[in-house]
């Protein structure tokens, strides 16, 4: 037997008891009631290994009795032993147990918990989806605690996604409900309502809430909330142009935020401290705070829409100092921020943000061009001839390879009867989407109408606008395109544009004489590069290659007729 095999066997039998112990209840706990486990697990000071023992024993006991409500609660206890994405698996087990229990409140609570877990890992779309799944179940109960916990969670997510007017009435309901008993839920609801007022430019209302909240938090000895009301008022005072007061409150809040590991609010504090210095024309003093935001972006990939401006101001500062290297560096960092934001805030994308992205891209192109020009100036005397020769050789070889590939794809394309020989991209996996056959049929009719009307030629055809054209929502739209066209949104639109271009190139000689940029604009591509790349992906050869083929075939046909 090899050493490797022996080691595997030893490790297996060493780890086996660790897997088995979760199903075994210690003799000392066999006769305990469920309430005993819940009370023990409520103790935050419990050591992790002890928590593990009690939670797994609780789950094993509930399973042995097939007590589905208790199984769900036990899964929740086990879930809290872990962090991040691992919690989500236990949420699914909670939902299963709640369904088996056949209780509306439990099923609503399970979906709500799953939404909260998604919110905790910054997956706000999925969080909102699960809150909406929880709502019909919870609304059928008289459980006011669950009803308002859901309202708070919905409001919190709407606030994060920028729907402040939607969040305000939900937070108000929570303030009224929790105000009857006071405590942290009341203070937290008040704090979030104040944040919404700041975003809605109701600064006096926000200050009044922060003053009340701070007073009540001190009275209740809620140190966390004392910190957050101070922090929130610091932000609010910035918008009231009381920069010294704002700066002092935010600086006061930073040590507590660091101690609690609250990086998001720490970054918000740095941003507004920097903004106070900036607006007081002390720009050199603002830089260290904006650099902290940049560091969080690069190190932790953390950014928010309001924090984005911190990186943008770094660019402005170094541009004013004629430091093109640092201007370019932070322009690239801003591109990274925009990439993160476009993923996290996809449902919020709009023309303003699109314009900001394009402006930054143009700045990067300009700075990179300037840098390349300077580099060429430095190296031109010693290496221009060599570089020119190598570049020429590279492009000649590259063009030969591309032409050979295009020729092969074109011949296969013609041989197959104008069916692309390029390997089809695997159909996107469909997520579970609840849509009736009648709605699906109607949506498919709308999709055919959309294709016939050639509305896909517009530049702004992302999934949100497609959904509007189909009189649907993005989720159903993605589902119907994936199911009936076998493609994702981007490939679907790009292929339609390219097929339209193919028809024009084939039958419209004037279109062939357009340059690629004009062709791209005609069929709705933002750039010639996007057009060329998408065309190659669709057919296996470039538009230029196809035009040359058409011209050659036309010349040969004319010569034969003569």
> Does the pLDDT at position 3 exceed 50?
no
Name which of 167-181, 355-369, 446-460 the model is least confident about: 355-369
Reduced 3-state DSSP string for 260-277? CCCHHHHHHHHHHHHHHH
Mean pLDDT for the chain overall? 83
pLDDT tier, 21 (very low <50, low <70, confident <90, very high otherwise):
very low
> Does the pLDDT at position 244 exceed 70?
yes
> Does the pLDDT at position 17 exceed 70?
no
pLDDT tier, 425 (very low <50, low <70, confident <90, very high otherwise):
very low
pTM tops 0.85: no
Look at residue 355 in the predicted model and tell me its pLDDT: 58
CA dihedral 65, 66, 68, 72 (to 10 degrees): 70
- CA 260/CA 230 separation, integer angstroms: 15
pLDDT in tens, 348-365: 445 445 556 667 777 777
Provide CB contacts within 8 A for 144, sequence distance 6+: 177
CB 113 within 8 Å of CB 94:
yes
The residue written with tokens 């101690």 in the block is 259
CB 263 within 8 Å of CB 300:
yes
Provide the H-helix boundaries in 45-123: 48-64, 68-79, 86-101, 104-120
CA–chain centroid gap for 16, Å, is 39
pLDDT tier, 2 (very low <50, low <70, confident <90, very high otherwise):
very low
Residue 469's φ and ψ, nearest 5 degrees, are -65, -35
Spatial CA neighbour of 167 closest among 198, 136, 209? 198
pLDDT in tens, 484-517: 998 899 999 999 999 999 999 989 889 999 999 9
> Does the pLDDT at position 478 exceed 60?
yes
Domain architecture of the chain: domains with CATH: 20-141 (1.25.40.10), 418-561 (1.10.10.60)
- CA 413/CA 407 separation, integer angstroms: 10
- CA 269/CA 341 separation, integer angstroms: 20
Question: How confident is the model over 155-182, as a mean pLDDT?
Answer: 93
CA atoms within 13 A on the CB side of 514: 17
Helix (H, G, I), strand (E, B) or coil at 158: helix
The residue written with tokens 């970054």 in the block is 267
pLDDT tier, 46 (very low <50, low <70, confident <90, very high otherwise):
confident
pLDDT tier, 28 (very low <50, low <70, confident <90, very high otherwise):
low
Q: Please state, for a pLDDT cut of 70, what percent of the chain lies above it.
A: 79
Provide CB contacts within 8 A for 307, sequence distance 6+: 267, 268, 271, 293
Greater model confidence, 155 or 12: 155
């Amino acid at each position: 037997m090899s050493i490797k095999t022996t080691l595997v066997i030893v490790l297996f039998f060493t780890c086996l008891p660790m897997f088995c112990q979760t199903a075994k209840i210690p003799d000392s706990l066999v006769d305990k009631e469920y309430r005993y486990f819940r009370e023990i697990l409520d103790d935050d000071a419990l050591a992790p290994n002890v928590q593990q023992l009690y939670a797994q024993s609780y789950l094993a006991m509930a399973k042995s009795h097939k007590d589905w409500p208790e199984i769900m609660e036990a899964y929740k206890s086990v879930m809290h032993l872990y962090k991040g994405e691992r919690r989500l698996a236990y949420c699914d087990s909670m939902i299963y147990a709640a369904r088996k229990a056949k209780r509306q409140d439990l099923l609503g609570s399970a979906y709500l918990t799953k939404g909260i877990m998604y919110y905790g890992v910054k997956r706000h779309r999925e969080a909102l989806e699960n809150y909406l799944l929880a709502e019909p179940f919870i609304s059928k109960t008289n459980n006011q605690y669950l009803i308002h916990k859901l309202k708070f969670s919905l409001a919190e997510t709407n606030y994060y996604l920028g729907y402040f007017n939607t969040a305000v009435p939900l937070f108000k309901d929570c303030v009224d409900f929790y105000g009857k008993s006071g405590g942290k839920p009341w203070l937290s609801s008040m704090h979030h309502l104040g944040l919404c007022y700041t975003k809605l430019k109701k600064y006096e209302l926000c200050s009044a809430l922060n003053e009340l909240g701070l007073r009540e938090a001190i009275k209740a000895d809620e140190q966390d909330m004392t910190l957050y009301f101070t922090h929130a008022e610091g932000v609010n005072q910035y918008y009231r142009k009381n920069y010294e007061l704002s700066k002092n409150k935010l600086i006061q809040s930073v040590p507590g935020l660091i101690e609690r590991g609250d990086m998001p609010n720490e970054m918000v504090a740095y941003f507004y401290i920097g903004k106070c210095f900036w607006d007081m024309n002390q720009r050199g003093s603002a830089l260290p705070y904006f650099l902290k935001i940049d560091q969080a972006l690069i190190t932790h990939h953390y950014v928010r829409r309001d924090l984005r401006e911190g990186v943008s101001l770094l660019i402005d500062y170094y541009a004013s100092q004629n430091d093109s290297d640092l201007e370019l560096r932070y322009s690239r960092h801003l591109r990274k921020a925009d990439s993160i934001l476009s993923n996290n805030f996809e449902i919020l994308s709009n023309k303003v943000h699109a314009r900001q992205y394009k402006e930054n891209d143009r700045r990067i192109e300009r700075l990179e061009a300037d840098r390349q020009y300077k580099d060429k100036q430095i190296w031109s005397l010693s290496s221009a001839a060599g570089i020119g020769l190598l570049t020429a050789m590279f492009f000649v070889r590259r063009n030969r390879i591309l032409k050979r590939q295009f020729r092969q794809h074109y011949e296969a394309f013609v041989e197959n009867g104008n069916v692309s020989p390029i390997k089809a991209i695997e159909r996107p996996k469909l997520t579970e989407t609840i849509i009736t056959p009648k709605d699906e049929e109607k949506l498919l009719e709308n999709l055919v109408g959309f294709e016939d009307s050639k509305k896909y030629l517009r530049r702004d055809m992302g999934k949100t606008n497609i959904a509007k054209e189909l009189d649907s929502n993005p989720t159903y739209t993605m589902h119907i395109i994936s199911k009936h066209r076998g493609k994702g949104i981007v490939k679907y639109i790009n292929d339609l544009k390219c097929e339209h271009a193919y028809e024009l190139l084939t039958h419209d000689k004037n279109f062939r004489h357009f340059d690629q940029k004009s062709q791209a604009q005609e069929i709705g591509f933002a750039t010639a590069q996007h057009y060329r790349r998408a065309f190659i992906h669709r057919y296996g050869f470039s538009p230029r290659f196809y035009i040359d083929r058409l011209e050659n075939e036309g010349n040969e046909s004319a010569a034969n007729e003569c």
